Amino acid sequence: MRTRTNKKVWKKAVLWLVGIAAAAAIGMCVNIGKRGYDMYREAITEMSLEDKVNEIRSKEHYTVFADLPETYVDAVLSVEDHRFYGHIGIDPIAIARAVINDLKAGAFVEGGSTITQQLAKNLYFTQEKKMERKVAEVFMAFALEHKYSKNEILELYVNTIYFGNGYYCIKDASEGYFGKAPEDMTDYESTMLAGIPNAPSKYAPTVNPVLAARRQEQVVERLVECGMFTERRARETLAAEN
């Protein structure tokens, strides 16, 4: 009799503790969400999204989407956000995968951020890995998707990412690394450039040619996996430098 009573008490205690933990988790999520939204509102109050975008577009070396080589666009999408044209600013599949990998590693090893989220971060936020900053980034990504087309978002993205060597837009990078305008880049140059922003200090060809070449191979492999390159074209692209 006492054993049964003890089991009932234990079961109630466990359910009570689970309920407390769930309530605490929900409360924490709500709190983080509110702080993230406040961070987003503060950012656009200091400078509206329209003003921020106009500021980027007014830069001397700004490159429009029409001047981006198709291969470069495909390469960027394949390694950064291959569902870009199908999502609303966030990619639940990528986020779920990132959460699982982060939990396995016990640290932030994968972000799951879309190109739109990365643009939001480049325009307004720091690289600091805090949950409220990620929430603010999501609100900003939704705002970007509401106000601008996919091509405009991608155009803004390649004009605000860092390519190493002090190059903060695609035109500076293409001219600096290859001595030519973005629209004149070859498949070899496009795939090389697409891989650099993942880790500019490692993959810039002037810093470490070997790592840059390995990263380029990963980009070309992703193009094949995404059906954008044939195996033959992949081989020809990687051999083009020679």
| 50 and 115 housed in the same domain | yes
Q: What is the 3-state secondary structure (H, E, C) of the chain?
A: CHHHHHHHHHHHHHHHHHHHHHHHHHHHHHHHHHHHHHHHHHHHHHCCHHHHHHHHHCCCCCCCHHHCCHHHHHHHHHHHCCCHHHCCCCCHHHHHHHHHHHHHHCCCCCCCCCHHHHHHHHHHCCCCCCHHHHHHHHHHHHHHHHHCCHHHHHHHHHCCCCCCCCCCCHHHHHHHHHCCCHHHCCHHHHHHHHHHHHCHHHHCCCCCHHHHHHHHHHHHHHHHHCCCCCHHHHHHHHHCCC
CATH number, domain of 229, equals 1.10.3810.10
Residue range of the domain that includes 92? 1-62+86-149
Residues 24 and 113 in one domain: yes
220 and 125 in a common domain = no
My answer on whether 220 and 165 are in the same domain is yes
Tell me the mean pLDDT in the region 193-221: 95
**pTM for this structure?**
0.83
Residue 110 in any domain: the answer is yes
> What pLDDT is stored for residue 129 in this prediction?
66
Q: What is the pLDDT of residues 167-184, one digit of tens each?
A: 999 999 999 999 999 999
Q: How many domains does the chain have?
A: 2
Could you tell me what percent of the chain has a pLDDT over 70? 78
Same domain, 126 and 50: yes
